[in-house]
Amino acid sequence: MQHEGHDARDEVDALVPAWEAELPSSLVAVLELGKRVSRIDGLLEQATRAEMAGLGLTYAEFDVLAALHRAGPPHRLKPSELARALFLTSGGTSNVLQRLARAGYVEREADAEDGRSRWVRLTDEGRQVTATALAASSRAHSDVMAAVPEDVVRRAADALREVLLVVGRRRVR
């Protein structure tokens, strides 16, 4: 389906006629949005995964390192905070943390205020590899989006914020 005078078609447009034959137009637009968001995310993730593989990191490991970096000095979070921030299970987070600890990128330390709790902190080597990984991820994203005008990216990001502010409050059953 062509909208607002746009002649260009993407791979999602090929799916639309089948959807239109079976579904209300309001649902077709929702499916188009979901497929395009998923496709863009997939392309960005694929490029990032390739960069991380070159650094010997999995995508999940990079995600954890980046979250610890975002926490700011002293670059530490509790495992439960990491799991929540990354939408991972506690078991999945634990597995990633074990691999990162073996690599020397993170260390666990006791919480001086709560003996039952622990912190996960980037080591000096972890901060170095994270800086390299963040630069590689930025390059990958820039490469994927290079041909898209900056104002189009800004408008898309703003529009998706509006959508996420509404649907992000919804609890999945």
Contact of 61 with 52, CB cutoff 8 Å: yes
**What is the overall mean pLDDT for the chain?**
90
Considering the domain boundaries, does residue 8 fall inside one?
no
- Which residues on neighbouring strands pair with residue 77, listed in sequence order? 120
In a domain, 77, yes or no: yes
CATH of the domain at 108: 1.10.10.10
The mean pLDDT of 54-71, rounded to a whole number, is 95
**Rounded alpha-carbon distances, angstroms, from residue 159 to 36, 37, 93, 141, 154:** 13, 12, 31, 19, 9
Which of 108, 90, 106 has its CA nearest to residue 57?
A: 106
Count other Cβ atoms within 10 Å, centred on residue 90: 12
Instruction: With respect to residue 158, please indicate whether it lies within any of the assigned structural domains.
Output: no
- Which of 11-15, 46-50, 82-86, 141-145 has the weakest average pLDDT? 82-86
Rg, C-alpha atoms of the chain: 20
* Structural domain for 47, as ranges: 16-147
Average of per-residue pLDDT across 91-111: 91
In this prediction, residue 113 has a pLDDT band, given cuts at 50, 70 and 90, of: confident
- Phi-psi region for residue 5, left (φ > 0), alpha (ψ -120 to 50) or beta? left
Total domains in the chain come to: 1
31 belongs to a structural domain: yes
The verdict on residue 5 lying in a domain is no
Residue 16, token pair as written in the block:
């639309």
Q: Residue 124 — pLDDT band, cuts 50, 70, 90?
A: very high
For residue 10, tell me if it sits in a domain: no
The answer to whether position 68 is within a domain reads yes
Residue 160 in domain: no
